[in-house]
Structure 1
Amino acid sequence: MSKQSGSLRRYVLTRIGLAVPMVLILLVLVFVLMRVAPGDPISAAQGGHLTPAQLAQKRHQAGFDKPLILQFWEYLRSVLTLNFGTTISDGRSVSSIIVQNGGVTLTLAVGAVVVALGLGVPLGLLAGRYRDSAGDTVTRVFAIVTYATPVFFLGLLAQLLFSSHLGWLPSSGQADTLVQLNVPTKTHILLLDALISGQWDAVWNIFQHYLLPWITLGLLIVGVFIRMIRINLIQTLQGDYVEAARARGIKESDVVVKHAFRNSLVPVVTVLGLQIAMLLGGAVLTEKTFNLSGLGSMLINYINSRDYIAVQGLVTFFALVVVVISMLIDFINALIDPRVRY
């Protein structure tokens, strides 16, 4: 085993070991927060619809009459087996909700990341290359405005302009009703199912419905990428190896793209991992604004119905997703930059 592969292996094992207490702390926080309110989840969700005897029976069946330490142990054991509980209001398995509605959130998040990188990388490159120019100033103002604007407000403006006023794009939903009925469900990701079945008209229809949500959510984090790439590109352009490349007579465009730009992208991977939590939080509001039946929209519905079991399961799933993606980002960083391993 080489020294580099050994250091990478140690880093991966160390990072996994550090993730265990992090996950445990997250589970404790979720468990405690869901029980801060007076009473119990059964009473909160159905207290006005059941008799005291029925409430007592429901609490006993759900185990809420047991000591908190036993409730937490059962909760922890369920999470380890990927069982996130059963909703109180409609009796659905939270795991089935994740499978059936998670494709919407996944499609929204992936498309938003593509939009954020597609705008943030070239704008950050231009702003860093032409520092303190008029274009740099406009780009920085754009980054600040998009970062500070609430995602639901931006979504409403996009609906008013591109749907209501111009009529270019649909204002809500992930596809027309007939399209959703005709596309066979294979992966629970409508766009992917349409691609697999070769229904190109359906693909175009789904793409049109998702375009505004993608742009809206992507603009939430595009400013972070612009600022990160700009700052790192400016610092990289001042490096000795860049000056050496210029001294060898290499064209300025090649110096920027082939030497400075490539190294300035390394921190972007880290920033992408840090933005996952913000992206998921923005997805909740974006789904509600555009009437997308993803996990964020389901979470709001269950909060409104005071179904704390469903809320606990969905929040736990979101927390685990953030932890896993953060670990993957760290592994990618270790592969790209060996200095991270030491």
Structure 2
Amino acid sequence: MSQQDYYKILGVAKNATDSEIKKAYRKLAMKYHPDHSKGEKNAEDMFKKVSEAYAVLSDKEKRKQYDTFGSADFHQRYSQEDIFRNADLGDILKEFGFGGKGMRFSFGGGSPFGGGGGPFGGYQRRQAPVKGSDLVYELPLTLQEVASGTSKTVSFQHQGRSENITVKIPPGMITGKKLRLAGKGEPSGYGGPAGDLFIQSQVSADPTFTSEEYDLHTTITIRLSESLLGTHVGIPTLEGKELSLKIPPGTRHKTRMRLAGHGLPKMKSHSKGDLYVTVSVDIPKKLTSEQKKIVQKLAATGM
């Protein structure tokens, strides 16, 4: 059942409380248990799915791992046996007369479908040992480093000792993107392989640009006369170059203009995001006598 969205299976939100998760499982278990829905197509398969979803989301540690690393990585570390180990669903099923209080969904126990050797007949094969816990190292990067890529030396604690490793950061590693270093996580307590170390990017604040995903944003200021008559302005780039941006006559305050393809590079792609320039028109708070006369003349023309 890998690659399953447990929240969708139970029909609950990702911030659902323990009681909401239990209530949702109780309702679906009653609906799909084969002893209750005899003859209903796919009922047994759905009962397996909702039971697996509940076994994970009702366990604080398993739910945390699932929420942090997603379905694919979760199922690399947890076998079906691990998922159902110590999952006590008997109290809920007892309400419907499907099993006793001591009924536990663990490998080697009884099956709710009358079989033995596991909670569900299709899950009786031996699984690989549980991996150790993964670690996440948050790495600060400047926008310039995200744009061009870089190499960083990372210091972290691994199996009780300090370890340094040089990591090549590819272009486009925006906030939240991760690199996986296999076997650099916590050792397994069950004889399995060590977990992995994930290097997660956190883009630092920049004095000129802000970023949203792969798009960049910046603001320029022009004079009132330039907004009326039009002008050309230079826009800096992360590469140290300057782009020429045409400001057409009549450009209003807070107009946003797009420079396509001048944002951040996208990981594993040849494309880039865009650069958005917000135009701020500087309205003088005080006019000289000459400026005031000129404005009065303009006002007389109906402007």
Give TM class, smaller chain. Answer: under 0.3
Name the structure with the higher strand share.
2
Q: Normalising to structure 1: TM-score of the pair?
A: 0.19
Higher relative contact order (CA 8 A, sep 6+): 1
Q: Normalising to structure 2: TM-score of the pair?
A: 0.20
